Structure 1
């Protein structure tokens, strides 16, 4: 792409996207609280287009890195806002099924990009791939303007009840508006001061209306501590359990079974990741989010141990099979459902801020794995998956003791679960 660049320069180029993702995820919560979920995603198209134009047009490596940084901001903002938006427009019983659309779209994009490398392998063919997001952003701007609605929860939090009811009519039909409102509006019980904290009111919620996000006092208030820990923990474990080590270095695992072309390795891993993701929503709706996350973490832990043993005993076919099991375990729940649960455990008025922080943590963990894994692999050699086995095991303990079931529950019901936990003397 850019002849004569150093390894350090290329490291900056690669990680500029991740750093941009961290920034985009961190800022989108306040922006979406201020202007709305729909408008925030529309504005984000500006970063998509700018990043794509720069990457496709420039011939300087530092300008290309800046384009990747802008594209990263767009990616971070999307991952930080889409989960919130889907949570707020979907009925409780469909949140798991609809929520997997974010990760499913990401995985489908990976498959398409990896596939196009076969057809655009000519000189400067990569510029077509780099510029294609311009088309996607254009389609989103045109179609989204007519198809998307504003989040009814955001409208209610800003005191726009009539507009929210119109949106609910569009989403669920006029005969179901009362039921849909019950998913948003909590029942007020004056005997309990804590439950009087409004997720919704006739005039809106001050935290959302001011558009500045939660204050530090609000963020670490008693009722927010467990949702914050759960959200950050799930976001962190999604990356630190090691899934990107498979994506980034699949060719080293597949080389032992005769697959020399790195592009083929990438496509195989991407497809193994995509198919379970598309089924994960139905599986989680059937068995519950919490049990399936436990299935994911246990599966990744056992697969990591298996990969370590297969590498130690030089069994390349077993290594490939276990790597596929590792990816399957991730894709069947932890990958896509993380976005669903992080958005679900947070009260309506705090969702924009807390989801933003959680997704920022996920991007930061992605950066840690991306930079640290090559050094880890060099130092530990055949035992390079031992840390991921340990982290997956710790993640299982974390989920078992701290993460509640959220499937088929409204926001109010989930907060009631947290309230009962606090009432039993736990944080």
Structure 2
């Protein structure tokens, strides 16, 4: 967003006025993301490389304590607890994200969130000396909480701070940093770097570095202007934050929009999850967020990573080289996320979401065919590899980037924290469900294991095409009016009360 200028002013002056806004917003994105959603992707990927070493550590510790050798299935069971505790921590983080953002604000919530990851780093670094695998389990739970909070708070913070013409691109950077975290975690997990038996505690504790970076940088940057005005009622602080984000004093239109939203809130306190579910005026917004958040985990993208090693091995790639090829899967998601960031303000949210799920459904069909013929036709293994990369690219260009920002765009201020709590809870619950259920799906359906994901992708694309309005370039009030056509269909009086523009006109704004 650039400030309005009188005709005849030079391009040089226009460029000069853009810079303060651009730098403040860019620095906020970097500071919040490196210690935020980057941690989610990073902590997902760094756990893979040290798997055999931690399993060996579990067995050695048990032997020292009890003089008994664990069976393979027992080691696997303990390891599965360590992995699944990350998802349980994420669920806890999603549930506490709403209350802490209401109480402390968006920026302070992100800063406080680093306490979890710093404590987890201490536990991991001392676990080997303490001969306690339980400390690793607790550490994974804590980093899960950190990821659950950041995945909810960061898109909210960005969506409330960016101008409407850049809101999608700024909020979507959360997905880009998630993908970047996955790639960097895969690289650092190489045996030649930190993926060896000697260095696995350092690898797992390295997530403290981004946390420290955020603690040193984010305090110098502004709080969400909308939070300051609507939640705290501090117009002066809001104006100050907005000037830093925009780099100019011409804030009339944007301040008017926020004042309209403040009046529409009527001084209400932030809603709880129960109140959100009971509010008829938010019914279709809630359904939309629930569908999108569930589909993001149930679409099978994470399962593609599970299948990658098997497919690469079948294609004849040497076992000791697979770790390098696997980095390509993370790189694909990162490239797709960056591409989505560049396209989102041009193509819109609806097209990217719907197009991503349609492409994924197509790749799922091809993947099923390729797996079915892989034993009979030699080159089918290469088609399977193409399907893996195609599926991940399709996910990254749409659902991965757009889903996280939707609660910010389709909910008004008082309902937004509860909306993120709902979306985050569903995301983590479904992630846990997929991690638990997918081995049984593979066992039961064999080469047709991606058929359920095909159904999810088709159903999601259909819902988005029929029910979800486009939100690109619209104010929060305009988006609310779009959903009210579904929420109050045939209830004219009630609908008029929720048409926020008319409320604002009644207050002479």
Per-residue deviation, 1:44: 0.3
Q: Please point out which of 225, 228, 242 is paired with 1:168.
A: 242
Q: Does 1:381 align with 2:446?
A: yes
Moved more, 114-123 or 319-328: 114-123
Q: Does 1:144 align with 2:218?
A: yes
Q: Does 1:247 align with 2:309?
A: no
Residue in 2 aligned with 1:270?
330
Question: Which segments of 5 or more consecutive residues in structure 2 lack a partner in the other structure?
Answer: 1-52, 60-73, 375-379, 496-509
Q: Does 1:349 align with 2:414?
A: yes
Is the 1:348–1:411 Cα contact (8 Å) retained in structure 2?
Answer: no
Question: Which segments of 5 or more consecutive residues in structure 1 lack a partner in the other structure?
Answer: 189-195
Q: Does 1:304 align with 2:369?
A: no
Residues of 1 paired with 2:273 and 2:426: CA distance?
Answer: 18
Larger Rg: 2
| 3-state DSSP of counterpart to 1:38 | helix
CA offsets, 1:71-117, max 9 Å, x none? 10001000010011011001111122111211111111111111112
Residue in 2 aligned with 1:111?
183
Residue in 2 aligned with 1:227?
285
Residue in 1 aligned with 2:99?
30
Is the 2:113–2:149 Cα contact (8 Å) retained in structure 1?
Answer: yes
Is the 1:80–1:359 Cα contact (8 Å) retained in structure 2?
Answer: yes
Per-residue deviation, 1:309: 0.7
Per-residue deviation, 1:411: 0.8
Q: Please point out which of 111, 115, 135 is paired with 2:209.
A: 135
Is the 1:281–1:337 Cα contact (8 Å) retained in structure 2?
Answer: no
Q: Please point out which of 341, 344, 347 is paired with 1:281.
A: 341
Residues of 1 paired with 2:176 and 2:212: CA distance?
Answer: 21
Per-residue deviation, 1:126: 1.5
Residues of 2 paired with 1:115 and 1:286: CA distance?
Answer: 33
Residues of 2 paired with 1:48 and 1:75: CA distance?
Answer: 9
CA offsets, 1:130-176, max 9 Å, x none? 11122211111111111x21111111122111111111111113433
Residue in 1 aligned with 2:501?
none
Q: Please point out which of 149, 156, 168 is paired with 1:77.
A: 149
Per-residue deviation, 1:220: 2.0
Residue in 2 aligned with 1:58?
127
Is the 1:81–1:356 Cα contact (8 Å) retained in structure 2?
Answer: no
| 3-state DSSP of counterpart to 1:404 | coil
RMSD of equivalent CA atoms? 1.8
Is the 1:100–1:281 Cα contact (8 Å) retained in structure 2?
Answer: yes
Per-residue deviation, 1:256: 1.9
Q: Judging changes above 3 Å, is the alpha-carbon distance between structure 1 residues 116 and 141 closer, same or farther for their aligned structure 2 residues?
A: same
Residue in 2 aligned with 1:8?
77
Residues of 1 paired with 2:287 and 2:228: CA distance?
Answer: 27
Scaled by the length of structure 1, what TM-score is found? Answer: 0.92
Per-residue deviation, 1:218: 4.4
Per-residue deviation, 1:265: 3.7
Q: Does 1:89 align with 2:151?
A: no
Residue in 2 aligned with 1:192?
none
Moved more, 28-37 or 169-178: 169-178
Q: Judging changes above 3 Å, is the alpha-carbon distance between structure 1 residues 224 and 423 closer, same or farther for their aligned structure 2 residues?
A: closer
| 3-state DSSP of counterpart to 1:206 | coil
Residue in 2 aligned with 1:180?
254
Q: Does 1:48 align with 2:104?
A: no
Is the 1:343–1:351 Cα contact (8 Å) retained in structure 2?
Answer: yes
Residues of 1 paired with 2:454 and 2:488: CA distance?
Answer: 34
Is the 1:257–1:317 Cα contact (8 Å) retained in structure 2?
Answer: yes
Is the 2:301–2:392 Cα contact (8 Å) retained in structure 1?
Answer: yes
| 3-state DSSP of counterpart to 2:146 | helix
Q: Please point out which of 373, 395, 400 is paired with 2:465.
A: 400
Per-residue deviation, 1:421: 3.1
Per-residue deviation, 1:423: 4.3
Moved more, 170-179 or 104-113: 170-179
Is the 1:168–1:180 Cα contact (8 Å) retained in structure 2?
Answer: no
CA offsets, 1:382-414, max 9 Å, x none? 111111101111111111122111111111110
Per-residue deviation, 1:347: 0.9
CA offsets, 1:217-267, max 9 Å, x none? 444211111111111111110110001001233101222222234422420
Per-residue deviation, 1:355: 1.2
Residue in 2 aligned with 1:413?
478
CA offsets, 1:182-213, max 9 Å, x none? 3423279xxxxxxx7x23x6xxx3323xxxx4
Is the 2:111–2:215 Cα contact (8 Å) retained in structure 1?
Answer: yes
| 3-state DSSP of counterpart to 1:176 | coil
Scaled by the length of structure 2, what TM-score is found? Answer: 0.77
Is the 2:284–2:487 Cα contact (8 Å) retained in structure 1?
Answer: no
Is the 1:52–1:134 Cα contact (8 Å) retained in structure 2?
Answer: yes
Residues of 2 paired with 1:121 and 1:218: CA distance?
Answer: 45
Per-residue deviation, 1:336: 0.9
Work out the number of aligned pairs and report it. 410
Residues of 1 paired with 2:96 and 2:489: CA distance?
Answer: 35
| 3-state DSSP of counterpart to 2:249 | helix
CA offsets, 1:5-60, max 9 Å, x none? 61110100001011100110111111101110111111001011011221232132
Is the 2:273–2:421 Cα contact (8 Å) retained in structure 1?
Answer: no
Q: Judging changes above 3 Å, is the alpha-carbon distance between structure 1 residues 18 and 298 closer, same or farther for their aligned structure 2 residues?
A: same
